[in-house]
Amino acid sequence: MASTERRSSGPTLPGDQTGGSAWEPPADPVVLGPEADHEAVARKILLDQLTGRARSRAELSDRLAKKGVPLGVADRLLDRFEEVGLVDDEAFARSWVQSRRSGKGLARRALAQELRRKGVPDDIAHEALDEVDPEDEMESARILVRRKLRSVTGLDHTTAVRRLGGMLARKGYPAGTAFRVVREELDAAGRDADSETVRDVAVEEWPDTGLSPLP
């Protein structure tokens, strides 16, 4: 009698980095029933989602839920993906902070808000944000203002301050940092900036992020 070819339920994950054996896919879904189908579908969704970039566990969990994967199946697979290092919220948070700081010049407040939207736990987010050097953040603010100075040429003083301070505020810089950097950069560019005016405008332009101030 001809043997029946056994079908694989999905790709095999790489072995544990500590030296463990590779994770074997579950048996034929026809034998194990409907839940095995869910596992195969969930595994493919996770691998597809992780192909483009790293994602937080919460993002992946939300994606599985939208695709109708049962919570128990989703949690089990996400746990296994964490064990083999394919899902790592700590690494994701550090990478996200570095990328958004270098690409967009975002400050810690804005980064904290983004990480919260990604579902990264607050303790993990704060660990990643604590790695940001305050001096580096100040220098990033200066660079942003310098790039924007040409666009405010010809504007009256108050409008120029509002544009520059508001830009820093939207990128998550505290009002104190914003008014200091704007004042110093306007002075350096030969445009006398009144400290009180700069501070008042920077505070006025500060958006309500709904986040508590970071330490």
Query: Looking at the domain assignment, is residue 5 inside a domain?
Result: no
Query: Looking at the domain assignment, is residue 19 inside a domain?
Result: no
Query: Looking at the domain assignment, is residue 20 inside a domain?
Result: no
Q: What are phi and psi of 13, to 5 degrees?
A: -75, 155
Number of domains in the chain: 3
* Tens digit of pLDDT at every position of the chain (215 positions): 444 444 444 444 444 444 444 444 443 333 334 555 889 999 999 999 999 899 999 999 999 999 999 999 999 999 999 999 999 999 999 999 999 999 999 999 999 999 999 999 999 999 999 999 999 999 999 999 999 998 988 888 888 888 999 999 999 999 888 888 998 998 887 766 555 555 555 455 444 544 444 54
pLDDT at residue 188, rounded to an integer:
86
Judgement on whether residues 96 and 73 belong to the same structural domain of the protein? no
Dist. CA 68–CA 41, nearest whole Å: 10
Closest CA to 170 of 109, 118, 120, 94: 109
pLDDT at residue 30, rounded to an integer:
33
- CATH assignment of the domain containing 113: 1.10.10
- Identity at 55, one-letter amino acid code: R
Query: Looking at the domain assignment, is residue 54 inside a domain?
Result: yes
The domain of 54 spans 31-83
Closest CA to 58 of 127, 125, 1, 11: 125
| Tokens matching residue 153 | 């040429």
Among 70, 99, 129, residue at a domain's last position: 129
Task: List the beta strands (DSSP E) in 77-169.
Answer: none
Query: Looking at the domain assignment, is residue 64 inside a domain?
Result: yes
Query: Looking at the domain assignment, is residue 25 inside a domain?
Result: no
- The label of the residue with tokens 């695709």 reads 67
Judgement on whether residues 125 and 183 belong to the same structural domain of the protein? no
Which residues, other chains included, contact 85 with Cβ-Cβ below 8 Å and sequence gap of 6+? 17
Judgement on whether residues 75 and 115 belong to the same structural domain of the protein? no
The neighbouring-strand residues paired with 23 are: 13
Judgement on whether residues 180 and 151 belong to the same structural domain of the protein? yes
Query: Looking at the domain assignment, is residue 211 inside a domain?
Result: no
pLDDT at residue 197, rounded to an integer:
53
Dist. CA 32–CA 30, nearest whole Å: 6
Query: Looking at the domain assignment, is residue 51 inside a domain?
Result: yes
- The label of the residue with tokens 């128990």 reads 72
pLDDT at residue 137, rounded to an integer:
95
